Chains A and B, each alone.
Chain A
Amino acid sequence: MTARIQVPRETKLGELVEIRIVIQHPMETGYRHDDVGHPIKRNVINALSCRYNGEEIFRADLSSGIAANPYLQFYTVARESGELEFSWIDDEGKEGLERQAVVVKS
């Protein structure tokens, strides 16, 4: 699973930080059938979470209504330098993990 993450390279203390993530995933809805009529099993990323130095700052429960290659955008306040950790899991149990450094200048 390829994922792309965008976080400003450097921020000031107390500033609002925009975080964007795109994950490559088919987000198979479970409502479709293959060429010979068999139903295709649902396989979507069902949970995604983002931790900022260990503390969860964002969590999303995704389902069939979300398009393939989901794109999420959210905000946090820059408190300290450290690491953002993104983790997610799909219906087949495949997990994804990405880390991104944050530099906060006072």
Chain B
Amino acid sequence: MRRGSAAACLLAAALAWSPAPAQERGIALEKLRSGSAFLGADLRALQADDFANPGMLWVERGEKLWSQPAGKNARSCASCHQDAEASMRGVAARYPKVDPASGKLLDLEGRINLCRAERMGAEALRRESEELLALSAYLARQSRGEPIRVEIGGAAQSHFESGRAFYYRRHGQLNLSCAHCHEQNWGKRLYAETITQGHPNAWPAYRMEWQTLGSLERRLRACLSGIRAEMLPYGASQYLDLELFLAWRAQGLPVEAPGVRR
């Protein structure tokens, strides 16, 4: 009897510890490759060079914005969180995340705007605005090297399921799902490019095609446009759910933000 309850305890502990309800990975853990593995040597070198990496321009701006008071309460991010290098270490690697107070799924950008609304009394920053990109790049930079690890159980589960459904559903005139390229055909060529596994660990990233820094959401919109599907508006819940699924799918890969991508 005692042995039985001890075993039950162990089992319960093992279940509580396991990162998530057992989920089947589309790509086995040992085969996970960050997007940088599919880049040419020049772009990899550019990303690795903290001076020449153009994304660092936004990180530097974000560092200034971090301690700049805004809104009615004349508070800055630093008023509560102090030194981001200490307080924000590893935070970005755990997003998207459900905010316990509101029950909403938030990405970094959403979290920043919630802080602005609730604590600073400041207006929300527009998605894809230079300020919001600077702040999210600065925050993501504080998690560089940290493995992505998101919570998909509990309140996040319905978001995760809907993100996964979106991922495997066919979209657009080309009738393709995300998995058709990024799970079944990664490593093969699509025109002049090598298809990546589509991981979110380098975002926000400086994309050569855009000649600027952009968010993961903007990248997802570009994918949708590529398969001739309807581009959802910025901030749409479908993107957030998908981002959560993507983060889970990339679980274990280190954060590279600000990345450099083609």
Spell out A's residues near B (CB within 8 Å): 2, 4, 6, 20, 22, 24, 26-27, 67-69, 71
Contact = CB atoms under 8 A, between A and B. Distances in A.
A90 B60 CA distance: 22
Q: Identify the interface centre among B52, B56, B61: most chain A CB within 10 Å of its CB.
A: B52
B51 A69 contact: no
Contact of B54 (A6, A20, A71): A71
B221 to A, nearest CB: 15
Nearest to B55: A69
A67 B51 contact: no
Interface residues of B, number: 9
B51 to A, nearest CB: 5
Contacts of A24: 57
B211 A4 contact: no
A30 to B, nearest CB: 14
A16 to B, nearest CB: 18
B212 to A, nearest CB: 6
- The dominant DSSP class at the B interface is mixed
Interface in B31-63: 51-52, 54, 56-57, 60-61
A20 B60 CA distance: 16
- The dominant DSSP class at the A interface is loop
Given A22-B51, A68-B54, 9 more contacts: A2-B60, A6-B51, A20-B52, A22-B52, A22-B54, A26-B211, A27-B211, A68-B211, A69-B54
Contacts of A26: 211-212
B60 A71 contact: no
Contact of B51 (A2, A20, A27, A68): A20
Contacts of A4: 51, 56-57, 60
Given A20-B52, A22-B51, A22-B52, A2 B211 contact: no
B61 A2 contact: yes
Given A26-B211, A68-B211, A68-B212, A2 B57 contact: yes
Contacts of A68: 54, 211-212
A71 B57 contact: no
B225 to A, nearest CB: 14
A2 to B, nearest CB: 5
A97 to B, nearest CB: 17
B161 to A, nearest CB: 36
Contacts of B52: 20, 22, 71
Nearest to A67: B211
Q: Identify the interface centre among A6, A20, A27, A71: most chain B CB within 10 Å of its CB.
A: A71
